[in-house]
Amino acid sequence: MTTEENYLQDVERMLRGIDSAHRQTVLDDLRGHFADAAELGRPVDETVAGLGAPAEIAARAREEFGATDADGRAGAQRAWRALQGAAVGVAVVTGVVVAFLMPSSMFGMRFADGTTFADGSGLGDALLVLVPALACAIPFLVPVPARTAVTASVGVTLTALIAITAVTIGVFFVPSAMLTWAALITWMRLRGRGFGLGWRIVGGALAAAPSLAVAAIGLPVSFGVPYRYSTYTEVGSGASIGVEFWGWVLLSGIVALGVLIAVGYRSPGWVLAAIGLAVLAVGLTVGSILMLAFVWLGGWWLTIGLAHAVVTPSRR
């Protein structure tokens, strides 16, 4: 992304509280300044310095056109609904899988292999697994002024439930908790100063972190990757599990997506979210306790990718 594109994107972010038609007028005017400067051979950095910081541009625009929070609220509303809706959906699917499809032996219950939580505990107890989904849905039922407090309360409650039930089923709901926290942060930031370069860099780094961690550890290792998705050899008294070639390709691709997210492209967020959703689905259905790591990893990538995609303006 060029200096000019970065500058215009930052200005557009600062203008969220300005009417869309006036916002477009300001951006078109700035593009005209850059075009004129280019014709005169003036350096882009000099042009940027002459125009002033994005916050100064936004302040002048508010003085000239007046401010309306309608567009900012609409963007925050859309982003929040996408993330909190994803939290509800993931919690519903997770609850159904854990209660009715996954063998109870997967999370420490003393039932015969193949027996589900519903088979061993009864339908009533099994339906309690859907409580996280109901909790994630509560913020949709409250007035907008209460949304921040209620979403924060749901995030705290989910996190506490996960910690309390970590030895059994709670750990499977980590992705829903991550999505809820992302929804809260997005809702608060988009109604304020929004997300700048620093946030994008952090998001890209977090997306790439698991891949870089695997590379730093240096596989083969003795944990973390199920047999069907890895190479497997016996080393001494323990098992050595290493990632296949295609797995390294995927991890390298995630690093590339992290870089593009940091730069500010929107589409890599959607791609990362899709990959995260696929990894999460595999983690819930493959039938091995080792896949719990994939549930967390899928939720991690889904949260980061979706959050980036819904808060990043479309590039012209």
Q: Count CB-CB contacts under 10 A for residue 105.
A: 15
In the chain, the number of structural domains is 2
| Domain membership of residue 21 as a residue range | 3-68
32 and 121 in a single domain? The answer is no
Reported as a single tens digit per residue, the pLDDT across 268-304 is: 999 999 999 999 998 888 755 567 888 999 999 999 9
Same domain, 8 and 115: no
> Among 68, 92, 110, which residue terminates a domain?
68
- 116-144 pLDDT tens trace: 655 556 565 667 788 899 999 999 999 98
| Dist CA 132 CA 146 (whole Å) | 20
Whether the pLDDT of residue 68 is over 60: the answer is no
Task: Determine, yes or no, domain membership for 316.
Answer: no
The alpha carbon dihedral of 160, 166, 170, 174 has a sign of: positive
Based on the domain organization, do 115 and 56 belong to the same domain?
no
Residue 286 phi, psi (nearest 5): -75, -25
Task: Report percent pLDDT > 70 for the chain.
Answer: 72
The predicted structure's pLDDT at residue 5: 85
Q: Which residues face 230 on adjacent strands?
A: 243
Q: Which two tokens stand for residue 162?
A: 């996960």
Helices vs. strands in the chain: H and E counts, helices first: 14, 2
According to the model, what pLDDT value does residue 248 have?
72
End residue of a domain, out of 44, 68, 92: 68
* pTM of the predicted structure, to 2 decimals: 0.70
Cβ count within 10 A of residue 265:
18
Long-range interactions of 20-25: CB distance < 8 A, separation 24+ = 20/71, 22/61, 22/65, 23/61, 23/71
Query: Closest by alpha carbon to 6, among 48, 61, 60, 57?
Result: 48
- Distance, in Å, from the CA atom of 87 to the CA atom of 155, rounded to the nearest integer, reads 10
Instruction: Give the confidence band of 228 by pLDDT, cuts at 50, 70, 90.
Output: very low
